[in-house]
Amino acid sequence: MADNKKAVVHVRLKDGVLDPQGVTIQKALVQMGYDDILAVRSGRFFEMEIKADAADIDRKIDEVCSRLLANPVIEEFQVETPN
Amino acid sequence: MKFGVVTFPGSNCDYDAYAAVRHILGEEVEFLWHKSSDLKNCDLVILPGGFSYGDYLRAGAIARFSPIMQEVIDFARSGGLVIGICNGFQVLTEAGLLPGALIRNSHLRFSCKQVYLRVENTESPFTSGCSRGEILQIPIAHGEGNFYHFDGDIKKLEEAGRVAFRYVDASGQVTPEANPNGSRENIAGIINAEGNVLGMMPHPERAVEEILGSSDGLRVFESVRDACVASRLVGDN
């Protein structure tokens, strides 16, 4: 029997949307002495395990991302399917 | 008039909203459970504050798919009155019933304090009893109340008169200092294009008696009750 599939999803704020968390992390890094780091953008990361025989899975993952994992008003996502 | 207050797992202002409507406003009110699909013939639905589903993923993101929300979405789309307060506002944006998004406060801290709001629109049923420019003192309590939308969309909202409330100072001026969370253009509350859905970050249900520090929040509940009765959206009661 085939192994289950995996998908990895990265969700980040769109360019231009303020990321207060990223800004605060960057400021902390500078305070720690890492003043080479000019900007930080934060995001979220998801791993999904998917049935080996799932049909039409690319479309479903895309749907899952835009309906739930990301808020398309302010965020964008990237999907990787390693196998 | 019959109000409904939705209870999600993690709602914590549902009893405050219930008490404000029942004991102060003196209207009929029912709790609506998140797993139910029955709006119990309510004339208006309140989505209360709190941390529905633990605020997991994004505030309001999971609540938006609960069974009761499918009914609330249909109700709103057919013209039913809906008020989303704090977490309820976040749920409404996630559900696509209101535009924009509520992101992390610009200073990253949870902010719990009294603020001043200026009434920007008196056409909506939620503010019809207020006068334009009237100042209301109502508390906020949120970590993700920073109203965000793109420049063009903000402009459209403003031009269409869909900004209900802005954060102002005690004298009614829109200033950066009066903005508690970084919201664009100091926006504290908006209405949908049809005028039957209001979302606001401040908590009117926590400002309904002088003993609470202010009774200004009652203006919102009285406005919508009076507008509703006047337009005969309700039956004989």
Cα–Cα distance between A54 and A4 in angstroms, integer? 9
- Cβ proximity of B119 and B134 under 8 Å: yes
Report all structural domains of chain B as residue ranges with CATH numbers, in order of start.
2-230 (3.40.50.880)
Q: How is chain A split into domains, by residue range?
A: 5-80
Candidates A74, A75, A76, A77: best to mutate against B (most CBs of B within 10 A) is A74
Cα–Cα distance between B118 and B135 in angstroms, integer? 5
Per-residue pLDDT of chain B (237 residues; tens, 9 = 90+): 999 999 999 999 999 999 999 999 999 999 999 999 999 999 999 999 999 999 999 999 999 999 999 999 999 999 999 999 999 999 999 999 999 999 999 998 999 999 999 999 999 999 999 999 999 999 999 999 999 999 999 999 999 999 999 999 999 999 999 999 999 999 999 999 999 999 999 999 999 999 999 999 999 999 999 999 888 655 544
Beta bridge partners of B29: B3
- A18–chain B nearest CA distance, Å: 8
B56 chain-A contacts, CB cut-off 8 A: none
Chain B's closest residue to A20, CA to CA, is B106
Q: Is B235 helix (H, G, I), strand (E, B) or coil?
A: coil
- B136-176 tens-digit pLDDT: 999 999 999 999 999 999 999 999 999 999 999 999 999 99
Position A2 scores a pLDDT of 73
- B169-194 tens-digit pLDDT: 999 999 999 999 999 999 999 999 99
- A9–chain B nearest CA distance, Å: 13
Cα–Cα distance between B136 and B114 in angstroms, integer? 10
CA B20 to chain centre: 14
Has B210 been annotated as catalytic? no
Strands B2-7 and B146-148: unpaired
B65 chain-A contacts, CB cut-off 8 A: 68
Provide ipTM, 2 decimals: 0.84
Architecture of the domain whose range is A5-80: 2-Layer Sandwich (3.30)
Candidates B90, B103, B142, B183: best to mutate against A (most CBs of A within 10 A) is B103
